[in-house]
């Protein structure tokens, strides 16, 4: 971490947020100037006495707009929720853990309404432009988080990931995004989208920052992350669905990345996984995500649905037609597929695939609802594999070389988070 004082780095972050020529007004919806200043001063005071609360002490952090902060209404990117006026009684567990670790929480970041698209667009609060090209979307649903890290408004951002909402903005904005195993980080105090699929993870500039944050959020004792040597590691290159209809940039850069991994000594195997087809078939019959999202928002949709982003409302409304027995059967079928995938990956260290099949779409490419949904599907397609099969995953930025950002995604078995981060650090070092 940067060794300048917390107050100096907070000042720099606030300047980026408040720069009228930047994206701060759209990326960071709430700024905690006074509380952040107090936290930074306390961190610097500890540093002067040679004490520390850990690797996040004094680090400038943002939190997604769906995390409870005591005394505030939790908006989840929605003006409807903002108007309902339900004030949080206490901080979300992840916020409590950040404070205990000495993190300086500077603000709450913008997001897709209810966290329900991978594009990152928000018609209520505006959509921040992608740091690589302001005419393009940032990816979502943790849209403000990706922009905040890439634009220097914070050092680490905390997002949620239900179908890729950490890894998609990481991929499109050229940073690192880590989705832990679902059970690893408490979702208490995080406004839900899907009880079965929601997970919470960091976006940052390095794997080491993500590892330090993950330790704090999960309540683990921090241990320095050692990059795994790549020679001899088993990288399973996912075939089929994840490689279909890649755009020109991703289609060219992904094979180049595989070539570099192989030259570094990684053992590549090309894995056909019919379980992907089983996933698509089950999702086509009954969407667990949509059913659970409608359970959260059904009553709200009946009375005030017109106030919700039309794209989000359209997706939510499909939940009204899902029968209870179909939902229960889908959950049971998914559990069987999770067990089958876990067994299938037993002899593979990580699956490797493009994080997103396409680069960030331009804003003018998502104006029409049909075009929006097509690009939304392409952004979510690969990342959602990690959520459906209850895996842990990370998106790593590939070298830009004059191109738009894209992410290389590594997926590992549930509970293998630490080993995944070690491997990710090794891959990061290779591409740095």
Question: How far is 68 from 65, CA to CA, in rounded Å?
Answer: 8
Express each pLDDT in 401-430 by its tens digit: 899 999 999 999 999 999 999 999 999 999
Q: How many other β-carbons are positioned within 10 Å of the β-carbon of residue 102?
A: 23
pLDDT at 344 over 90: yes
pLDDT at residue 146, as a whole number: 98
Q: Give pLDDT tens digits for 371-386.
A: 999 999 999 999 999 9
* pLDDT (mean) for 5-28: 98
**What is the token pair recorded at 24?**
């701060």
Pure H helices in 183-238: 207-218
Supply the pTM of this predicted model: 0.97
Q: Is the pLDDT of residue 1 over 50?
A: no
User: Cis (ω within 30 of 0) for the bond into 166?
Assistant: no
User: Whose structure tokens read 């590691």?
Assistant: 233
Q: Which residue has the tokens 């002490």?
A: 57
Cα 173 to Cα 143: distance, rounded to the nearest angstrom: 9
pLDDT (tens digit per residue) in 219-229: 999 999 999 99
- How far apart (Å, rounded) are the C-alpha atoms in residues 314 and 392? 29
Query: Which residue, 28, 5, 54, is CA-closest to 152?
Result: 28
**Alpha-carbon gap, residue 328 to 144, rounded angstroms:** 35
**What pLDDT digit, counting tens, does each position of 154-206 carry?**
999 999 999 999 999 999 999 999 999 999 999 999 999 999 999 999 999 99
Q: Indicate whether 2 pLDDT > 90.
A: no
pLDDT digits 0-9 by tens, 259-305 = 999 999 999 999 999 999 999 999 999 999 999 999 999 999 999 99
Give the β-pairing of 104-109 and 28-31.
Answer: antiparallel
Give pLDDT, residue 3. 64
For residue 384, what pLDDT is reported? 98
Domain layout of the chain by residue ranges: 1-230+354-432
Strand ranges of the sheet holding 407-412, from the earlier edge strand across to the other edge: 28-31, 104-109, 60-64, 156-161, 199-204, 176-179, 392-397, 407-412, 350-354, 234-238, 267-271
Q: What are phi and psi of 336, to 5 degrees?
A: -65, -40
Name the residues annotated as catalytic. Answer: 64, 141, 165
Sign (positive or negative) of CA dihedral 121, 125, 128, 129: positive
Q: What's the CA gap between 37 and 59, in Å, rounded?
A: 12
Q: Three-class SS of residue 56?
A: coil
Whole-number average pLDDT of the chain:
97
| Structure token pair of residue 237 | 């290159």
What is the fold, at CATH topology level, of the domain defined by 1-230+354-432? Answer: Amidase signature (AS) enzymes (3.90.1300)
Q: What is the mean pLDDT of residues 131-149?
A: 98
Report the C-alpha gap between 221 and 218 in whole angstroms.
9
Contact 108, 81 (CB under 8 A): no
For the stretch 34-71, what's the b/e string if a residue is b when 16 or more beta carbons lie within 10 angstroms of its beta carbon? eebbebbbbbbebbeeeeebebbbbbbbbbbbbbbbee
């Amino acid at each position: 971490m940067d060794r300048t004082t917390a107050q100096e780095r907070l000042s720099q972050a606030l300047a980026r947020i408040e720069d009228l020529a930047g994206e701060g007004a759209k990326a960071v919806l709430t700024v905690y100037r006074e509380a952040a200043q107090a936290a930074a001063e306390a961190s610097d005071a500890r540093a002067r006495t040679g004490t520390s609360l850990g690797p996040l002490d004094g680090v400038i952090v943002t939190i997604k707009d769906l995390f409870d902060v005591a005394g505030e209404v939790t908006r989840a990117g929605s003006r409807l929720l903002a108007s309902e006026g339900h004030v949080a009684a206490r901080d979300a567990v992840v916020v409590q853990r950040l404070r205990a670790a000495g993190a300086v929480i500077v603000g709450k970041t913008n997001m897709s309404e209810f966290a329900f698209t991978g594009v990152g667009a928000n018609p209520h609060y505006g959509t921040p432009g992608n740091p690589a090209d302001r005419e393009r979307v940032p990816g979502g649903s943790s849209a403000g988080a990706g922009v905040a890290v890439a634009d220097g408004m914070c050092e680490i951002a905390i997002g949620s990931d239900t179908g890729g909402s950490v890894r998609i903005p990481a991929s499109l904005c050229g940073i690192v995004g880590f989705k832990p195993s679902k059970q690893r980080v408490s979702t208490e105090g995080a406004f839900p989208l899907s009880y079965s699929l929601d997970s919470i993870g960091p976006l940052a500039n390095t794997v080491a920052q993500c590892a330090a944050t993950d330790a704090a959020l999960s309540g683990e004792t921090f241990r320095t992350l050692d990059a795994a040597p790549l020679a001899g590691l088993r990288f399973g290159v996912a075939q089929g669905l994840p490689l279909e209809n890649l755009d020109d940039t991703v289609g060219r850069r992904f094979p180049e990345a595989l070539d570099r991994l192989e030259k570094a000594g990684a053992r590549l195997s090309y894995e056909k996984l019919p379980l992907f087809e089983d996933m698509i078939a089950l999702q086509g019959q009954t969407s667990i995500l949509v059913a659970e999202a409608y359970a959260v928002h059904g009553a709200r949709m009946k009375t005030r649905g017109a106030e919700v982003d039309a794209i989000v409302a359209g997706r939510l409304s499909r939940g009204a037609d899902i029968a209870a027995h179909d939902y229960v059967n889908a959950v049971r079928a998914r559990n069987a597929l999770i067990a089958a995938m876990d067994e299938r990956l037993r002899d593979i260290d990580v699956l490797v695939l493009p994080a997103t099949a396409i680069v960030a779409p331009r804003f003018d490419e998502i104006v029409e609802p049909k075009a929006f949904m097509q690009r939304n599907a392409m952004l979510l397609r690969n990342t959602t594999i990690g959520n459906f099969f209850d895996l842990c995953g990370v998106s790593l930025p590939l070298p830009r070389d004059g191109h738009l950002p894209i992410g290389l995604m590594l997926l590992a078995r549930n509970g293998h988070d630490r080993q995944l981060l070690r491997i990710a650090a090794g891959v990061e070092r290779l591409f740095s």
